Structure 1
């Protein structure tokens, strides 16, 4: 059993009330000499303040719960770094819980574990909650905000990239490189979150502006995973129905890249790729992957800042094109083939 206030009172000879006031830093109720004696005894005995008990009494908390989708993503680390940086600056603490891979019970378990104690708020990283779990969160009377995922529901506040702009910008980039048959791979357009739908809409708009009608077989849906990239490349096959592909994530891009190699399709000579995310994964493969790069650190930092300051607006963070080696500019001769 840990050291208690009663142990310190016994060690110092002061009353439990006096020791409690010193350890709670209630200035004006004790002398500096008393404080020095109590604090020295607490250090000697190895006393650690029970923050959970204190928060239950005061109904105030400095804890931010971060709930993460357990899908193997490559962008959660910089988001968490941003959250942790802002939490440190604001003297808040962070706990991390995992919500499974779109699994109802895992989501529910993460939420109930967080809500069992006082919290200042919850941040959800790319977690698309089932309806019942979302209702649980909404009725918990705890501030929350989503990161790297957006919704139409005005009650669901978020910090994310502008996914419509991502789809539009990636497509415009490939069009400027001479590509007209452009695929979109590995995006989820069935989810209640609007990430995939918005990227698809931006992609379609850019094509239509250039008098190009998107073909059904140009779009290969998926769950943003490496396996989704493998499957997409198999479906595109060797028919050369597209000359370039926008991938829903870096992992999708690497799946496409590796499957293309097995099919003797050269990137970028035979097929160009531009990924969405722009994490370190783009730089550790050959060829290195051109990307629409999102600012995940800023997402985390800003999400934590908005939660702590109780701001209600949504926010988009910056995106940019990072050119590497996976996109080839088509020549007039290529266009004729």
Structure 2
């Protein structure tokens, strides 16, 4: 059992109430000499303040709970770094919980674990909650905000990239590089998948603006994973139609790139690739992947700032095209 204020009171001869006031930094109830004796005894005995108990009594918390999708992503670290930076500036603490890979019970377990203790709010990183878990979150009346995922529902606050603009800008870039047959690979288009559907809508708009009729075979849905990229490349190779591909994530891009090499296709001479995300994965492959780069650090920082300050507006962070080696201009 840990050291308590009763142990310190016994060690120093002061009352439990005096020890409690000193360790809670309450002013005007004790002398500096008394504080010095009590703090020295606390250090000697190895006393650690029970923050959870204190928060239960005061009904105030400095803890932000981060709930992360357990899918292997390559951008959550940058988001968490942004959250941690803002939390440190505001003297807040952070706990991290994992919500499984779109698994209802794992989501519920992460939420209940967070809600069982006093917290000032919850930040959900790329977590698309099941309906029953969203109901649980709303009923808890704890401030929350989604990061790196947006919604049509006006009651759900988020900080993310504009996925419609991502799809549009990636397609427009490839068209400007001379491509007319452009694939879109590895995006989730299942019911309720707002991110994938927004990227698809932006992609379609850019094609139609340039007089290009999108073909159904150009779209290869998936779950944003490396495996989805591999499978998409196999499907495209059978068609032999597209000259450039937009990948739903960097992981999809790497899977597609490696599968292309197995099929003896040269990137970018035979096929151009532009990935969505722009994380370090784009730089550690050959050729390096051109990307639509998202500002994940800013998403985390801004999301934490809004939560801490009680601001409820939504926000889109900036995106940009980062040119590397995987896109080649095509002769018209």
Contact map agreement 1:150 1:193 (CA 8 A) in 2: no
For residue 316 of structure 1, what is the aligned residue in structure 2?
316
Instruction: Give the stretch that moved more between structures: 25-34 or 231-240.
Output: 231-240
For 1:163, the equivalent position in structure 2 comes to 163
Residue equivalent to 2:206: 206
Per-residue CA distance 1:66-86 (angstroms, 9 max, x = gap): 000000110011001011111
Aligned residue in 1 for 2:262:
262
In angstroms, what is the RMSD of aligned CA positions? Answer: 0.8
Q: 1:186 to 1:20 in 2, by over 3 A?
A: same
C-alpha distance in 1 between matches for 2:279 and 2:23: 45
Measured after TM superposition, the shift of residue 240 of structure 1 is 2.2
Partner Cα distance (2:78, 2:315) in 1: 18
Number of residue pairs matched by the alignment: 332
- Report runs of 4+ in structure 1 exceeding 2 Å deviation: none
The answer to whether the 8 A contact 1:246-1:274 is kept is: yes
Residue 100 (structure 2) aligns with: 100
> Residues of 2 paired with 1:135 and 1:161: CA distance?
25
CA distance in structure 2 between the partners assigned to 1:323 and 1:107 by the alignment: 37
Aligned residue runs from structure 1 range 9-20, under 5 A? 9-20=9-20
Describe the superposition over 1:295-327 as per-residue Cα deviations: whole angstroms up to 9, x where unpaired: 000011111111100100001111111100000
Instruction: Give me the whole-angstrom Cα distance separating, in 2, the residues matched to 1:51 and 1:192.
Output: 39
Preserved contact between residue 128 and residue 192 of structure 1 (Cα < 8 Å): no
Q: 1:154 is matched with which residue?
A: 154
Deviation of 1:191 (Å): 4.8
Q: SS in structure 1 opposite 2:48? A: coil
TM-score w.r.t. the length of structure 1 is: 0.97
Aligned residue for 1:335?
Answer: none
**Which consecutive residues of structure 1, in runs of 5 or more, have no partner in the other structure?**
333-337
Q: Offset at 1:28?
A: 1.2
CA distance in structure 2 between the aligned counterparts of 1:121 and 1:78, rounded to whole angstroms: 20
Structure 2 unaligned segments of length 5 or more: list them: none
Following TM superposition, by how much is the alpha carbon of 1:193 offset from its aligned partner in structure 2, in angstroms? 4.3
Query: Residue 238 of structure 1: CA displacement?
Result: 4.2
Deviation for aligned residue 1:141: 1.0
CA contact (8 A) 1:295 1:319 kept: yes
Within 1, Cα distance between the matches of 2:271 and 2:168?
20
Distance 2:190 2:103 in 1: 16
Return the alpha-carbon distance in structure 2 between the equivalents of residues 153 and 102 of structure 1: 19
1:131 maps to what in 2? 131
| 1:13-52 to 2 correspondences below 5 Å | 13-52=13-52
- Give the SS at the match of 1:117: coil
Partner Cα separation in structure 2 for residue 89 and residue 193 of structure 1: 35
